[in-house]
Structure 1
Amino acid sequence: MAGFAAFRLLWAGQALALVGREMTWFALTLFAYQKTGLATTLSLLGFFHFLPLILLSPLAGALVDRYPRKWAMLASDLAGGVATGALLLLALLGRLEVWHLYLASAFTGALSSLHWPALSAALSALLDKKDYARASGMMSLAESLAGVGAPVLAAALLKPLGLQGIFALDLLGTATAVATLLLVPIPNPKPQAQEKTSLLGEALFGFRFILQRPPLLGLQLMFFGVNFLTTLAATVMPAMVLAKTGLSESALALVRSASGLGGVAGGLFLSLWGGPKRRVHGVFLGMAFSSLALALMGAVEGPWAWAALAFLEAFFIPLLNGSNQAIWQAKVPLEVQGKVFAARRMIAWLATPLAMLLSGPLADRVFGPRWGQGEGIALMLLLFGGLGVFWGLSGYLFRAVREAETLLPDAKAD
């Protein structure tokens, strides 16, 4: 089994695992907010996951290029299973607390740092260049399918099964991902002929590679900015929904599922279309339209209106990420993609934990006290989402970013 057939099997396993993880995340969001009633609790849950993920990314990238990429992906998937198993045990004993969720989030975040660079680099070697954008669209589709089904399933199953049942289903999805990963041959390119360097030196290689190529650096700074702005709003969006609906599980499930459905539609659209000929258009316009929908969520009322805009916000994300991924896969040599992609992610995603750390206190101590919890967070969505629109369109002002595809040579022939 090879090529796109192998990718489809790998995709199926990862998709099922994503459903389990999204169900767990939905259940933990409700559990944490019901325990404290604070938006800060939700932002810290995300912060403790993303901080180790981002900080360890350069080291993870070096490990991915040094050792078989299948091992890295297995380690990440198994770590998620260990964390979920620990939460299941605590729930069965009746001793699960919010701080346990922070620890589990940090542990899974640390090991998750291996998964993305390993998967991205493995797919570059597994697939032909013409299939990059389509495969990226399918991966976005898997994430979005999980986003559609998981909230509905979790909301429906929480009462009859409790947290324990949700955790058990998550473990089943992890087992499926591990089984399919073991069946798929993951190519490992031959290492470059060069002097041996330390693991730290290899970890820093990705940053040097990007700094020497201003178009790639510019693209990641674009993502840094838009991630910071939209995360400030999106992190506390569930708290807005819960605050305005009297802690309605069904309202939050509707909005989350609509977001997932939008991602499904966007992923299918990208998978069938393949993306714009000039990928940067997909990046800039994807940022602008997605941010616009997020901003408008703060200007409307009611679960169905929020759900419609959540659909549109998520619809453009596969276009945005798929276009960017296709640029990097085409411009970065296969044998160093693990290191470079890890550095790339750290540059773009470092904004995420910073924004998460700020968003909760901004909602609870600045916007909430002045305008009320629900209305205050709505204003945050309108403000930071609106700034995201301008940030996305600003990419057209800089030639190094606007013409990234022509300024850099392809690393892999057509």
Structure 2
Amino acid sequence: MGQDRPATYRSVFAEAEFRPLFGSYVLATAGDMLAKLALTVLVYERTGSPLLSALTFAISYLPWVVGGPLLAALADRLPRKQVMVASDLARAALVALMAVPGMPLAALLVLLLLVSVCSPPYEAARSALTADVLTDDRYAVATSLVGVVQQLAQVVGFLVGGLLVTALSPSLGLLLNALAFALAGLWLVVGLRPRPAPDPGADGPVSLGADVAAGLRLVLTTPRLLAIVGLLWVGTLVTNAHEGIGPALSDQLVGSQALVGVLLAAHPVGSVVGSVVVGRFCPPRLRERLVVPLVVLSVGALALAGLAVRVLTGDAAVVAFVSLLAVAGFGTAWLIPLNVAFVRAVPPALRGRAFGVAVAGLSAVQGLGALLAGGAATGVAPTDVVLLVGLLGVPAVAVPLVGLLRTRPPATSPVAGPSGA
């Protein structure tokens, strides 16, 4: 393979340890989605309260926002394989308890919170270990695969999960979820070789609080990392905000909720296509050059979507709006080269805690974006909210984009990979 040719899916899966990393992630992602959906349905069936069922769904994001950096730091203090296995098996046991008939509602919510607490150390360990296993352009291709899995889970996962939960029962759905987590953990036990905990460095081990402080200090005081996470946070806030007003958008466009599924699926569908095209078929150097145009596309297409509803009418407006949401989703393929840049900029021993800081902020802005969009939609038309988000988003992302370009390291071999930094 030439130096500037993209890695192939075959070369990625040829790495024996990536197969259990990826496969267990697919199982864990499916299990996590099914748990949220099953428990949301279960709570709604018991209480009839949309607010409580929505709160149940939202609880899973709380550990990332409140304690993500602290929990993710465990991936830098303990063997990463053990962290992932323990997280999966703990989630399997907790979700199995949730499936017990007659479990009190308060206990169900506590158990869901505990299940969610396992996500930060698991995700931090998985991300860091993937970068250890794939040390060249295969890491970028693996990142695109992970993005495809995440988006497909949104496109088809809730549909399949909904059929399972409603056709069978929420409790059975939870049991299937517990089985998925258990299988994921066992796959990691068999498929990953033992590795010691990351080297703490010359100063030796320090407290967990000091680890978290080191991760925050690294991300917030390193210009390159600050530009990367700034773009990640601001870009995600802008491009995901419309998801918080899906029902209102559907009501405005077609007068009912008939379109809400299509509206929420359009952006992920575009993201899947973008992840495959950019992650698999674009050479490494081209990916890096595409960051700026892709960011502009992901934000600008939102403004065009809102504008289309103002200048078009009827079905043409609906088709244009949905199509431009998909185009905006395609643009989010900028996340692939940004992820590679992040891993290259972080020393291997600090990847877990740096990842925790990045994802904690990411979880916070996802909720904030939906909240801001929802508040704005109480005063203006929902499609005008999308228009405003796009128009305001362009200057907002320009600031971290300039920082990213200014801190770009000297050109190196594209196959040096994350560990080559």
Amino acid at match of 2:357: A
Cα distance in 1 between the residues matched to 2:39 and 2:245:
14
Amino acid at match of 2:329: A
The equivalent position to 2:329 in structure 1, one of 314, 326, 340, is 314
SS at match of 1:277: helix
Conserved? CA contact 2:155–2:269, under 8 Å: yes
Conserved? CA contact 2:224–2:407, under 8 Å: yes
Conserved? CA contact 1:46–1:353, under 8 Å: no
- Corresponding residue of 2:273: 265
The equivalent position to 1:73 in structure 2, one of 84, 98, 104, is 84
SS at match of 2:201: coil
Q: Structure 1: any 5+ residue segments left out of the alignment?
A: none
Label 1:257 to 1:85 Cα distance change in 2 as closer, same or farther (>3 A): farther
- Corresponding residue of 2:226: 217
Deviations 1:188-207 (A, max 9, x none): 44442324322211111112
Deviations 1:294-316 (A, max 9, x none): 55565657786665444334333
Label 1:392 to 1:284 Cα distance change in 2 as closer, same or farther (>3 A): farther
- Corresponding residue of 2:156: 149
- Corresponding residue of 1:328: 342
Aligned length: 394
2:294 equivalent to 1:289: no
- Corresponding residue of 1:51: 62
Deviations 1:144-169 (A, max 9, x none): 23233313313444442243343333
2:114 equivalent to 1:110: no
Cα distance in 1 between the residues matched to 2:134 and 2:330:
25
2:381 equivalent to 1:381: no
Cα distance in 2 between the residues matched to 1:281 and 1:403:
14
Cα distance in 2 between the residues matched to 1:194 and 1:80:
34
The equivalent position to 1:337 in structure 2, one of 351, 355, 359, is 351
- Corresponding residue of 2:377: 367
Structure 1 residue 133, shift from structure 2 partner: 0.6
TM-score computed with the length of structure 2 as normaliser: 0.77
Conserved? CA contact 2:225–2:345, under 8 Å: no
- Corresponding residue of 2:4: none
Amino acid at match of 1:17: A
Identity of aligned residues (%): 24
Cα distance in 1 between the residues matched to 2:328 and 2:98:
32
Deviations 1:31-81 (A, max 9, x none): 77894456x974x45653323213322222331111011222233334543
Structure 1 residue 118, shift from structure 2 partner: 0.8
1:194-273 aligned within 5 A: 194-238=203-247, 240-241=249-250, 246-248=256-258, 251-273=259-281
Label 1:197 to 1:17 Cα distance change in 2 as closer, same or farther (>3 A): closer
2:192 equivalent to 1:185: yes
Amino acid at match of 1:339: R
Label 1:254 to 1:353 Cα distance change in 2 as closer, same or farther (>3 A): closer
Label 1:413 to 1:157 Cα distance change in 2 as closer, same or farther (>3 A): closer
2:127 equivalent to 1:120: yes
- Corresponding residue of 1:404: 407
Conserved? CA contact 2:238–2:393, under 8 Å: yes
Conserved? CA contact 2:296–2:394, under 8 Å: yes
Does 126-135 or 75-84 show the bigger shift? 75-84
Cα distance in 2 between the residues matched to 1:216 and 1:83:
36
TM-score computed with the length of structure 1 as normaliser: 0.78
Conserved? CA contact 1:88–1:168, under 8 Å: yes
Does 140-149 or 387-396 show the bigger shift? 387-396
SS at match of 1:5: coil
Conserved? CA contact 1:144–1:262, under 8 Å: no
Deviations 1:212-238 (A, max 9, x none): 421211221222323333444323325
Amino acid at match of 2:80: R
The equivalent position to 2:396 in structure 1, one of 376, 391, 399, is 391
- Corresponding residue of 2:5: none
Amino acid at match of 2:211: E
SS at match of 1:135: helix
Does 223-232 or 173-182 show the bigger shift? 223-232
Label 1:31 to 1:383 Cα distance change in 2 as closer, same or farther (>3 A): farther
Cα distance in 2 between the residues matched to 1:137 and 1:284:
18
Conserved? CA contact 1:222–1:395, under 8 Å: yes
Conserved? CA contact 2:246–2:260, under 8 Å: no
SS at match of 1:129: coil
The equivalent position to 1:132 in structure 2, one of 124, 127, 139, is 139
- Corresponding residue of 2:3: none
Aligned alpha-carbon RMSD (Å): 3.8
Label 1:28 to 1:296 Cα distance change in 2 as closer, same or farther (>3 A): farther
Cα distance in 1 between the residues matched to 2:96 and 2:407:
45
Conserved? CA contact 1:13–1:178, under 8 Å: yes
Cα distance in 2 between the residues matched to 1:30 and 1:343:
32
